Amino acid sequence: MSSPVLLPGGVTSGQQTTLGVMGGGQLGRMFVQAAQAMGYFTAVLDPDPASPAGLVSHYHIQTAYLDQQGLAQLMQRCAAITTEFENVPAPALLTLGSARSVAPAADAVAIAQDRAREKAHFVRCGVPCAPYAVIATAAQLAAVPDDLLPGILKTARLGYDGKGQLRVTTRAELASAWDSLKGVPCVLEKMLALKAECSVIVARGRDGCMVNLPLQLNLHRDGILAVTSVYEGNLPTALVAQAVAAARAIAEELHYVGVLCVEFFVLQDDSLIVNEMAPRPHNSGHYSLDACDLSQFDLQVRTLAGLPLVQPRQHSPAIMLNLLGDLWIDQSTPPWDRLLALPGAHLHLYGKLKASKGRKMGHLTLTGATPEQVRASALAAASILGIEAF
């Protein structure tokens, strides 16, 4: 369902124009803050009474994502609705889309929720991905080509941050791994030698206008993003252009509306293959809050409200360090005062009340005049935190 442009500060039926978000995590929180800064009211649907986004939103609808009364309340409150994570049930977005403008749409989210459908979409777009096979039956398991091993077996649905993924080197290990995953539909990807990982965030409006943030160079540890570096020269110019073009093609083929992150692998020969896409803002784009004149969350608000999209400008080189719950295990509060004494340090904590190993509690972005300055600050911050930077 389409909707007119929703201008900030508008009043409808005696109420401020309200934008809604399905999901109350840190991505929802930062969307809410961006929307509120522009003059919108916000509503969050999330079952957690202490959800980071719910704590800062004007309205918090505390129900399950498929609760019909909760969805009705969200539709009643909001002029348009987005999502902050890809595992929001697509049927809920379909229900909301019958009465309100929803971006991204349910069909695009449904593709991103299923690795097999996602890879088929990449193939349709002509964007190369790793050789793979879909395994949903014993017959498909038996028919897996030998040259896909060693590989990584990934559940087709509900996998993120390295969850639902198992490395396998032999057919026996593959069969055992599929059995350990209870025989759910999976995708086996050939394991390739990687040189780097990167991502591109695009935003596409209802009118087809599309803009993108700069390419982001990413470092993962244990399947979780640890460091993102964004500055000119972090990867070859031709490769950057190829990644941006591929991300735009993927969004265009979907007729996507909203913010989309596309993740890529750089192979040892400097060729590029697509890994996966996330139909939402992404951890690797958080640096844009401090290093760009428009953040990924500003773009999310604009695409949802139908406002003009202009190409973001990165004004400072940046490195972002993810702050995981591990930092709180040996100390009640990390030494934020020492970190904030560093030049160009920007601390973002998500308001989560419980820290646990691997849980994303916040991020630290370092900006500066040159990449060398930023790297020096990032190394100093990592030393203070007792973590590895690069």
Per-residue tokens: 64:
């399950």
Distance in angstroms (rounded) separating the CA atoms of residues 351 and 56: 9
280, 86 in Cβ contact below 8 A? Answer: yes
DSSP letter for 67, please. -
53 closest CA partner among 281, 324, 260, 323: 281
φ, ψ for residue 96 (rounded to 5)? Answer: -65, -40
The pLDDT assigned to 1 comes to 47
DSSP letter for 255, please. T
CB neighbour list of residue 118: distance below 8 Å, 6 or more residues apart: 111, 112, 276, 277
Enumerate the domain spans of the chain.
Answer: 11-102, 131-190, 194-385
Unique residue bearing structure tokens 């964007």: 127
The pLDDT assigned to 11 comes to 66
The pLDDT assigned to 23 comes to 96
CB atoms inside a 10 Å sphere around CB 327:
17
The pLDDT assigned to 307 comes to 97
Burial status of residue 369 (CB atoms within 10 A of its CB: 0-12, 13-18, 19 or more): exposed
Distance in angstroms (rounded) separating the CA atoms of residues 318 and 369: 9
**What number of residues does the chain have?**
390
Per-residue tokens: 114:
């299923």
Q: pLDDT tens digits for the chain (390 residues)?
A: 456 899 988 765 557 899 999 999 999 999 999 999 999 999 999 999 999 999 999 999 999 999 999 999 999 999 999 999 888 888 899 999 999 999 999 999 999 999 999 999 999 999 999 999 999 999 999 999 999 999 999 999 876 555 678 999 999 999 999 999 988 999 999 999 999 999 999 999 999 999 999 999 999 998 899 999 999 999 999 999 999 999 999 999 999 999 999 999 999 999 999 999 999 999 999 999 999 999 999 999 999 999 999 999 999 999 999 999 999 987 788 999 999 999 999 999 999 999 999 999 999 999 999 999 999 999 999 999 999 888
Q: Is 199 helix (H, G, I), strand (E, B) or coil?
A: strand
E strands within 207-281?
A: 210-212, 216-221, 224-230, 258-267, 272-278
285 closest CA partner among 328, 348, 239, 208: 348
For domain 194-385, the CATH class is: alpha beta
**Domain 131-190, what fold?**
Dna Ligase; domain 1 (3.30.1490)
The pLDDT assigned to 157 comes to 86
Single-letter code of the amino acid located at 148: L
Q: What is the CATH number of domain 11-102?
A: 3.40.50.20
291, 230 in Cβ contact below 8 A? Answer: yes
262, 202 in Cβ contact below 8 A? Answer: yes
47: left (phi over 0), alpha (psi -120 to 50) or beta: alpha
